[in-house]
Amino acid sequence: MLPISKNMLTKSQFYFFLQIAIKSLDDKVAFSLKFVYLWYNRKVKELTEIEYEMKEILKQFRPFDFILIGLALLLSFTPPLVTSLVYQQTSEDESQLVAIVKINGLQVDELPLGEGQAKEITYHPNEGQYNIVEVKGDAIRVREDNSPDQIAVNTGWISKPGQVLICLPHQLIIEIVEKGKPSNPDGNEHDDELILPL
């Protein structure tokens, strides 16, 4: 039997062959073939309605509108491109990552990050409070503390400049910075002070 596709037949021929097939088959198969045919016609009708609506919408556009849309699309890709170029340029520079540990707003420690670094340090911000900080390679985390919310512990490992671990009940802050580079773009070495609520 030759395969019959919709593309080889006109609509009336397809309908005629479908009726012959329906008459020659039992009721269940006939019902399923009718369902397929009706579903196919409905989809074709929906597609033609959508095409008509799109043509009507496109008639309202002027050539300058297409130019503006194209420019908007091009401009939407510029921020990721600029960001990736700047990140690539800064990652090529040799700089040392350092984790700055502050308790009650005062810097108490500076931990270098990089390959071969592995330490575990316990800080006691106040009486009855402790934070166990773990350094492994170029990442740092608060492994354990006795704060009620466990936010610093649940944050996990951080390893990129600008990332911060904060334990507010103990007023402990760990921030990763690049040593040797000013953190402010204007070149000032003084950072804005972080104010913790008491």
Does residue 73 fall inside a structural domain?
no
* Total count of domains within the chain: 2
pLDDT in tens, 122-154: 999 888 889 999 999 889 999 999 888 888 899
Distance (Å, whole) CA 197 – CA 161: 24
pLDDT in tens, 157-192: 998 888 999 988 888 999 999 876 544 555 555 555
- Are 51 and 112 in a shared domain? no
R_g of the chain, CA atoms, integer Å:
34
Does residue 1 fall inside a structural domain?
no
Q: What pTM value is reported for the model? A: 0.48
- Are 171 and 125 in a shared domain? yes
- Are 43 and 116 in a shared domain? no
Average pLDDT over residues 27-32: 59
Query: pLDDT averaged over the chain?
Result: 77
- Are 111 and 159 in a shared domain? yes
Question: Any idea what the Cα angle at residue 121 is, between residues 124 and 147, rounded to 5°?
Answer: 45
Look at residues 165, 162, 154 and name the one whose alpha carbon lies nearest to residue 185.
Answer: 162
Does residue 79 fall inside a structural domain?
no
- CATH number, domain of 175, equals 2.60.320.10
- Are 55 and 99 in a shared domain? no
pLDDT reported for residue 175: 92
Pairing of strands 139-145, 164-167: unpaired
pLDDT reported for residue 80: 86
Q: Determine the 3-state secondary structure of 100 from DSSP.
A: strand
Tell me which residue range forms the domain holding 122: 95-179
Could you tell me if 154 and 144 are in contact, meaning their C-beta atoms sit under 8 angstroms apart?
A: no
